Structure 1
Amino acid sequence: MYSAAELTSMFHKNRIEEKLTASLGKKVSLIETSIQNLKSTKRSSIYQLDLQTHNRTFPIIFKIYHSTKYKNEIEINIYSRAYPFLKEFLPNIYLVEKHGSDTWVFMEFVRQIRGQLTFTPDHFDLIIPALAKLHAHTYEEKFRRESAVLQPWFPMYDSPEMRKDREKFMSNTLTMLTKAKKEKQWKDVIKPHYKSLKNMYKQGPDFFPELLESGFSITHGDLHMQNICSKDVQKPTAWPIQFIDWESAKFAPSWFDMIVMVEILIAFRKDWQNDADNIRTRVVDVYTKEMKKHGIEFQTPPMKLYKMAYLQRTLEKGLHTQLRRILENRGGELLPYHLEKIAAWGKELGIYK
């Protein structure tokens, strides 16, 4: 993490004010006293600072991606190489520069949904249109037409490399499941499902051909409310949405984003769970209708695709995350929810026996 004085010196040395002025098309100056660190990790550092024009002051975000070894390239490429294609769904990107092994990105400050209001299931209706538009904009051939820009760096879910990654993750999940089953606190939770899970994983890494055939698009991969932003959450109709933090993006079945945005939130929100079936029915209906507006209709029943996407993603990633947290003594509170849904929907869809 850099101090405000260090950042100011770096900005002057690299003529950042001049470059931002050229990018924005109007004279701007950095207000040095406004610099504040929002977050710093080994992967990246995020700062907020203010720009001054002749008649107003406004905040921007400055993000430093530390070194290529931290797998930042997907997000960096989205903000630089894919920006013209995805501009509608991103904050405005003002400047991207390489500095040694680091990459600097200056972008528009956009407010996260989280913190702006008390989120209810009704609010999904106002987000889903933008998500469906992203998926439709990048659906199948529309993505492939941009191959000169997006390949070979964009992760492809159906590639041999990603299939191998899923196999590795699932193998590690089984190992962790065996270890966690010996933990006194989790033994009774895991034991009833252990044999069925072992048998299910033998069928992997891809459990549902219908899901793979339902259509691929660019998926964000991590759509919780801190990564969904809007400039106007007071609108009674579809909100203007910008998505941030794209490091998990891939070309994959579009339903995966719905699972992260909706089902994982239901899992955390115990106060929603008595009404969970109604919430799912509503969001699946809204998403299906929005996709149809863009000319995309699903051949498999949409609720079935939703459940398939949940099972696929949970078996390849969700269980792994919760088991790792358990073995590292960092929680694992979603494990019972995942196991319950795997059993119920797995039986319904014929993979849990």
Structure 2
Amino acid sequence: MYDSKTLHHQFKDLRLAEKLSYSIGEKITIVPSEIKCLKSTKRSSIYKLLIQKQNGYHPIIFKVYDSKAYKNEVEINIYKKAYPILKEFLPGIYLIETVKNETWVFMEFVNQIRGQLTFSPYHFQYIIPSIAKLHGQTFESRFKKDKTIWKDWLPVYTSMKKNRIKYMNQTIDLLDAAMRDNRINHIIKPYYPSLIKLYNQGPDFFPELIENGSSITHGDLHMQNICSKKVTQNTPWNIQLIDWESAKYSPVWFDMVVLVELLLGFRKDWQPNAEKIRTQCVQIYVDEMRKYGITFKTNPMTLYEMAYLQRTLERGLHTQLRRVADNREGELLSYHLEKISTWGKELGIYK
């Protein structure tokens, strides 16, 4: 992470205000006293800058990627190479600079949905059409038409089998450790024998997910990564998505279960109506995908459940068990276990 004084000097040395002026289309200046770090990790740092234009002051986002320790290749190339195809789903990209071992990206500031209103199940209808449009426009043959753009940097789900096996083996180790952990062994014990049998059958539990089609998926559709300049209760939202580091070419239903099921898991007040919420969201998605000529051979609700189980067995359960092992909250652990048991029995993989 840089301090604001250091960044200000680097901006001057690299003549970044001039470069931004050219890309934005009018003269701007960067206000040195308004350089604020919003988030910093080993992988990247995010800053909010204030620029002065003719009509006043405007915030923009400046993101620094450590390209030496972490390649961050996927997200950088989403902004650099795939922008012409995906720009309606992204904030505006003003400038990308390589500075020593770092990649600097200057982009439009967009507000997260979170914090703009109290989100309710009703509001899914304003987000799902944009997700379906992303999927529809990059679905199967449409993705392959632009294969030179994605070549060599975008992960393809079907080529990631070794990595998925690795995570599942780690999950087995975490389950073994959990059985020795007095804090959670009573939670794990009823599920443990069936889970071990299930993991030994992996990593691919439902070929139907591949058979029903893949596209570009964002991979991390929680409320902090879904943005819009302005949201209201009763008008369509212009959606932009941020933090694309988990993007890949994968079964389309993975995005839907992250978007919907993550909120259902955390919002206990929604759970009495969970089945109704899922059904309505799936129907919205199916109707929207039909606009792009896409229909599904397998029952959509079955695909939704399959996608949840596949993704949870690959990463979701691993994440929750790791959080507990690291003395953090594993808020969704019980939720995942119950769903694996219930839906797994319905779909014939959990015994």
Note the C-alpha offset of 1:341: 0.4
Partner of 2:4: 4
Partner of 2:66: 66
Note the C-alpha offset of 1:231: 1.2
Distance in 2 (CA, whole Å) between partners of 1:264 and 1:8 is 39
- Structure 2: runs of 5+ lacking an equivalent: none
Q: CA, structure 1 residues 270+71, in 2 after alignment: closer, same or farther (shift >3 Å)?
A: farther
For residues 118-168 of structure 1, the C-alpha deviation after alignment (integer angstroms, 9 at most, x for no partner) is 111111011000010001111111111111111110000001xx1100001
Moved more, 121-130 or 23-32: 23-32
Partner of 2:214: 216
Percent identity over paired residues: 60
Moved more, 134-143 or 64-73: 64-73
Letter in structure 2 aligned against 1:183: D
For residues 259-302 of structure 1, the C-alpha deviation after alignment (integer angstroms, 9 at most, x for no partner) is 11110110111111111001101100001101011111011010
2:49 and 2:60 in contact (8 A); partners too? yes
For residues 190-212 of structure 1, the C-alpha deviation after alignment (integer angstroms, 9 at most, x for no partner) is 11111111111122101001111
Note the C-alpha offset of 1:185: 2.2
Alignment of 1:87-102 (within 5 A): 87-102=87-102
Partner of 1:128: 128
Q: Secondary structure at the match of 1:314?
A: helix
Note the C-alpha offset of 1:30: 1.0
Partner of 1:55: 55
1:182 corresponds to 2:180: yes
Alignment of 1:283-298 (within 5 A): 283-298=281-296
1:324 corresponds to 2:325: no
1:151 corresponds to 2:171: no
Note the C-alpha offset of 1:235: 6.1
Distance in 2 (CA, whole Å) between partners of 1:2 and 1:331 is 30
1:129 and 1:238 in contact (8 A); partners too? no
Note the C-alpha offset of 1:71: 3.9
- Structure 1: runs of 5+ lacking an equivalent: none
1:232 corresponds to 2:240: no
Letter in structure 2 aligned against 1:233: V
Partner of 1:205: 203
Distance in 1 (CA, whole Å) between partners of 2:67 and 2:285 is 38
2:111 and 2:230 in contact (8 A); partners too? no
Note the C-alpha offset of 1:34: 1.5
Of residues 344, 347, 350, the one that matches 1:346 is: 344
Letter in structure 2 aligned against 1:27: K
1:130 and 1:238 in contact (8 A); partners too? no
For residues 188-237 of structure 1, the C-alpha deviation after alignment (integer angstroms, 9 at most, x for no partner) is 21111111111111221010011111100111111000000001211624
Q: TM-score, normalised by structure 1?
A: 0.98
Letter in structure 2 aligned against 1:177: L
Q: Secondary structure at the match of 1:39?
A: strand
Partner of 1:82: 82
Q: Secondary structure at the match of 2:33?
A: strand
Partner of 1:107: 107
Q: CA, structure 1 residues 300+68, in 2 after alignment: closer, same or farther (shift >3 Å)?
A: farther
Distance in 2 (CA, whole Å) between partners of 1:297 and 1:71 is 37
Alignment of 1:271-290 (within 5 A): 271-290=269-288
Moved more, 234-243 or 89-98: 234-243
